[in-house]
Amino acid sequence: MFIQTETTPNPATLKFLPGKPVLDAGTLDMPTREAATQSPLAAKLFDIPNVGGVFFGADFISVTKSDGDWQQMKPAILGAIMEHYMSGAPIVNNAAEASAGDDEFFDAADTETVATIKDLIETRVRPAVAGDGGDITFRGFKEGVVFLQMKGACSGCPSSTATLQHGIQNLLRHFVPEVTEVRPI
């Protein structure tokens, strides 16, 4: 098994591509050891010193370090991922799979606007962000402000503010005039 690694715009996060599916649908963000109990693989990764977060996408695993040096951490992470796939154990425990919609908030009168915003995020933003080892999901829309949740490599990334304000905000404003601002939750 050959696992590729890629850097992300967030220097504290590396993206690991096992060459096999990770999640069938959605994403799974485990920013703490407690959240990782839903995945045997994430729990193993949190056993590695200085692992501060784990994020699963369709075909990648992003690992965020809390401290330490990638040169020392990377072999242990690669070993844990390889060992997990060789064991045949599930990536997530039975029904714990992928985060879908959590709680969204918006006024019923804005349903059509929100549908357009979600479509733009799904088709134009999420694929690009997944390429960088993260995910962005719609959380709400109120008084012209779109609220988004950043996960994986995007969470805590130094360039996330620029991504939100210059990239996503400009895109949404262009297609949806009702949008005045984009904010992270």
Map out the domains of the chain as residue ranges.
Answer: 4-96, 105-184
Q: Which pLDDT band holds residue 176 (cuts at 50, 70, 90)? A: very high
- Reported as a single tens digit per residue, the pLDDT across 6-60 is 998 889 999 999 999 999 888 899 999 999 999 999 999 999 999 999 999 989 9
Q: How far apart are CA 157 and CA 54, in angstroms?
A: 14
**β-pairing verdict for 134-142 and 145-152:** antiparallel
Q: How far from 86 is each of 7, 76, 141, CA to CA, in Å?
A: 25, 15, 44
Nearest Cα to Cα of residue 172 among 153, 149, 144, 152: 144
Average pLDDT of the chain to the nearest whole number: 88
Tell whether the model's pLDDT for residue 96 goes beyond 90.
no
What does the pLDDT average to over 51-75? Answer: 94
Tell whether the model's pLDDT for residue 100 goes beyond 60.
no
Question: 4-96 in CATH: which number?
Answer: 3.30.1370.70
What does the pLDDT average to over 174-179? Answer: 92
Q: How far apart are CA 45 and CA 82, in angstroms?
A: 11
Q: Are 17 and 131 in contact (CB under 8 A)?
A: no
Question: 105-184 in CATH: which number?
Answer: 3.30.300.130
Q: How far apart are CA 70 and CA 76, in angstroms?
A: 10
Q: Are 4-96 and 105-184 the same fold in CATH?
A: no
Number of other CB atoms surrounding residue 67 within 10 Å: 10
pTM: 0.73
Q: Quick one: CA torsion of 12, 129, 3, 48, rounded to 10 degrees? A: 30
Alpha helices in the chain (DSSP H): 40-46, 70-87, 111-120, 126-131, 160-162, 169-175
Q: Are 134 and 184 in contact (CB under 8 A)?
A: no
